[in-house]
């Protein structure tokens, strides 16, 4: 990719496709490389458009029987034991925290490295978990997935397994992180749902 400094800006149509719908707006484009100028105003229009889509796409992935059992036990300790909102809350909390920088990044790595995560992740996966999400949440998942070069459902699966690992680990650091950072956030999301 060339490092174009976008010297020739001209008016142009901005288009984006998401969930089979099309966003359109007038904007500015670079006549040399075709790149589009996304300023705060255009980004806000796009965000409003996504929030108004009114669609409820599904996120789904498969887990092992052991992971499913752990998930059910965790659900019993939360404000709701309904699986779909808990799964949605786990994804929200994970996305909320991975944007927090190095501190959570190190915890994610530790959880990922733990033998329990590996056992949960590598066992035969024949239990399907799914939840409906808002268009905005799917957009967020997709965006993080693009950043990590992962598919949306793969990232949701990682969110699930990392959080389960944090909950049930006996490592002091991970357990403390579950108690102080994860569980309170899950509680708050589920109470507000």
Partner 1 sequence: MSPEDELRLLTVLRDKERHCIERLKAAGSLELVFWDDPNKNPPNLSRAEFERALPTIPQVQVKWSQRDSDKGKYGKTGEDQVFMFEFEVTSGRLVSTFYVKGFFFNKDDLKGVEIQSFRRERVAPRGRGKKKLKLVKS
Q: What residues line the site for partner 1 (CB under 8 A)?
A: 1, 3-9, 14-16, 28, 30, 34-40, 43, 98-102, 105, 108-116, 118-119, 139-140, 143-144, 146-150, 155, 158, 162, 168-171, 174
- Contact (CB, 8 A) for 98 and 159: no
Nearer to partner 1, 18 or 79 (CB): 18
Nearer to partner 1, 104 or 189 (CB): 104
Minimum separation from the CB atom of position 191 to partner 1 (A): 26
Minimum separation from the CB atom of position 188 to partner 1 (A): 20
How many CB atoms are closer than 10 A to CB 119?
13
Nearer to partner 1, 26 or 115 (CB): 115
Q: 63 in the Ramachandran plot: left (φ > 0), alpha (ψ -120 to 50) or beta?
A: beta
Nearer to partner 1, 139 or 183 (CB): 139
DSSP SS3 for 159? helix
* Sign of the four-CA dihedral 67, 70, 74, 80: positive
- Contact (CB, 8 A) for 86 and 159: no
Minimum separation from the CB atom of position 157 to partner 1 (A): 11
Minimum separation from the CB atom of position 48 to partner 1 (A): 14
Rounded to whole angstroms, what are the CA distances from 26 to 2, 23, 129, 139, 174? 25, 11, 41, 22, 48
């Amino acid at each position: 990719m060339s490092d174009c400094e976008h010297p020739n800006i001209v008016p142009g149509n901005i288009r984006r496709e998401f969930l089979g719908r099309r966003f359109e707006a007038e904007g500015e484009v670079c006549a040399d490389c075709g790149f589009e100028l996304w300023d705060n105003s255009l980004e806000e229009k796009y965000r409003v458009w996504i929030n108004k889509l009114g669609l409820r796409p599904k996120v789904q992935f498969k887990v092992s029987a052991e992971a499913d059992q752990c998930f059910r036990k965790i659900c019993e300790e939360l404000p709701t034991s309904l699986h779909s909102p808990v799964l949605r809350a786990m994804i929200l909390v994970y996305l909320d925290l991975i944007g927090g920088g190095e501190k959570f990044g190190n915890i994610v790595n530790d959880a990922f490295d733990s033998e329990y995560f590996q056992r949960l992740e590598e066992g035969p996966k024949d239990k399907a978990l799914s939840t409906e999400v808002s268009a905005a949440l799917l957009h967020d998942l997709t965006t993080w997935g693009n950043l990590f070069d992962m598919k949306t459902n793969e990232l949701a699966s990682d969110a699930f397994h990392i959080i389960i690992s944090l909950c049930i680990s006996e490592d002091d650091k991970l357990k403390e992180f579950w108690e102080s950072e994860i569980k309170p956030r899950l509680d708050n999301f589920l109470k507000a749902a």
